[in-house]
Amino acid sequence: MVSRESAKRQIIGGVNMSAPSFESFVAQYLRLAVCGTYWGDEGKGKIVDICSEYFDIVVRFSGGENAGHSVNDESKNFAFHLLPSGFARGKTCVLAGGVLLKLQALVAEIAENTPKLSCTAPDVLIDERCPIWTPYHALFEAYIERLRGKDAIGTTGRAMGPLQGFHSMREGVIAAHLRDRRQLMRVVTQLHAILKPCFDKMVDEVPTPASVVDELVALAQSSGILKSIIDTGAYLFDEITKGSKRVLFEGSQATGLDVNAGTWPFTTSTSSTAGGIAAGTLLPPGALSGTLLVMKLFPTRVGGGSMPSELSSREAIQRFADANPELFENGSARAEFLEDRLRHCNTDDATSAELGEYIMVKAREIGVSTGRGRSPGRPDLAWARYAIRVNDPIGCVLNGLDVVSGLEIIEVVTGYRYRGVELAPGIVPVLDLANVEPVIEQWPGWKEDITGAASMNQLPQNARRFIERFEEGLGRSIILIGTGTKRRDVIFREPKARLNAIF
């Protein structure tokens, strides 16, 4: 007879993962990171939510409110932008010094999500080094994008670039300034003075330094957030060295948007890879035990920047999303579209753009933070191998396998060709991605709907073969497979020892 505690240990999000179990796999890693492969929106929030059951502290180490993670716990949906996804399970949440913080957004997010909790609201700790957003950053970003004209980067409009940029120039507000109104007034006034020549050329209304300071002080005091501002680097180091707490690091965005590893200048402004954890948290590099690299079968991208596997133009896919909002809501219009379009996609007359629209609707590719339509690309092994090279994960997570149910043929990018030469695995000219030609193979799909499958034996033979083939192409074990949006819609696979680490 299995004891209640033993049975509990074999469950992850409602799915039986008994030996070999995900719990036993995760137990090997006291400090685990979850990072993204492509250009974000890959389901990291769900994976962090699943993993956080086995950790005590969940840490955001970079990014800002321009990142968005969704968590579906069966009864309630959480939408996180600044809060680590571990908030949904009541885990201690840390916003490390690498996080770009809009105080107004954080306070609103805590207020919105706390009533949804089925547990006690967790502590949310904020590093005293976090750069703090002001309206001046947003005004300056709008000014820059207008000057760029047709060469605009297509930012989220959340002003993360200016916030990080001025912080790198040692200008602006950090969380520690919120403790001292006089210091806060000094740095806000100085930032206003630096940007005034730009503001004088704009028609936008510019708040005075005093009004900016008044809002920040009032919000910090009324929310009680001042007591949460600490040196989180010291806190984490202490918890780790005592050996009493397990720590999970939550990445924002993904490798393709990392300010160094990504397709600069069409990137975010902070580090999104595992390598950014040390700088973002002030923990030593050796503190990290391992990284899970999350990808979805059909990568997506928004804003500017190239994606070699893209199925349609960015502009066309956005026009389609804007013109058909009813297709992203449950109803007869959505059901009819998916049925008709799937039938058409399985004919020789289907175009890649039509497939892109189908994937977009099927996967509801609309941004959590921005509401922008995401442009899908083909499954891309070539970029994934680059992300593996950069992050050296202990295993990969493949989300969105259910999205391709019903497709008879799945086109997969197996390599890149650049200037007439096929590139070696892991090598990508990230600064000249527009001139990369994808090498495409057609792999057999499957007719069966696999949504909600929780074990490999629930998958049809073609789906199992696809996973094995994709894993071989990655050269790294696929240990989790997402088959839906809910916590329970995941399959654990034991890692293969022969797929060794790079180093």
Q: What is the pLDDT of residues 197-207, one digit of tens each?
A: 998 888 778 99
Told to judge if 177 belongs to the known catalytic residues of this protein, a careful annotator would answer no
Instruction: Look up residue 269 and give its two tokens.
Output: 């402004």
Please, are residues 382 and 422 in contact by the beta-carbon 8 Å criterion? no
Distance CA 95, CA 232 (A): 8
The predicted structure's pLDDT at residue 501: 67
CATH superfamily of 131-223: Adenylosuccinate Synthetase, subunit A, domain 2 (1.10.300.10)
3-state SS assignment for residue 190: helix
Cα-Cα end-to-end distance for the chain: 43
Q: What is the DSSP letter of 366?
A: B
Residue ranges of the domains in the chain?
A: 14-129+228-295, 131-223, 314-376
The predicted structure's pLDDT at residue 302: 87
**Interacting residues of 72 by C-beta distance below 8 A, sequence separation 6+:** 46, 78, 485, 486, 487
Spatial CA neighbour of 175 closest among 214, 137, 211, 125:
125
The predicted structure's pLDDT at residue 481: 96
Please, what's the b/e burial string for 471-499 (b: 16 or more CB within 10 A of its CB; e: otherwise)?
A: bebbbbbbbbbbbbbbbbbbbbbebeeee
The predicted structure's pLDDT at residue 74: 64
Q: Per DSSP, what are the bridge partners of residue 421?
A: 418
Told to judge if 69 belongs to the known catalytic residues of this protein, a careful annotator would answer yes
Q: Which residues of the chain have pLDDT under 50?
A: 1-19
- pLDDT by residue (tens digit) across 225-276? 999 999 999 999 999 998 779 999 998 889 999 999 999 998 888 999 999 9
Distance CA 36, CA 22 (A): 19
Beta strands 490-492 and 478-482: pairing type?
A: antiparallel
Q: Could you tell me how many residues make up the chain?
A: 503
The predicted structure's pLDDT at residue 4: 34
Catalytic residue among 41, 49, 258, 402: 41
Distance CA 372, CA 360 (A): 11
CA-CA-CA-CA torsion for 485, 489, 493, 499, nearest 10 degrees?
Answer: -10
Spatial CA neighbour of 433 closest among 35, 145, 44, 38:
38
The predicted structure's pLDDT at residue 154: 66
Exposed, middle or buried by CB within 10 Å (0-12, 13-18, 19+), for 315? exposed
Distance CA 236, CA 227 (A): 17
Candidate CATH numbers 3.30.450.20, 3.60.20.30, 3.50.50.100, 3.40.440.10; the one for domain 14-129+228-295: 3.40.440.10
Instruction: Look up residue 183 and give its two tokens.
Output: 């210091």
Catalytic residue among 49, 69, 167, 192: 69
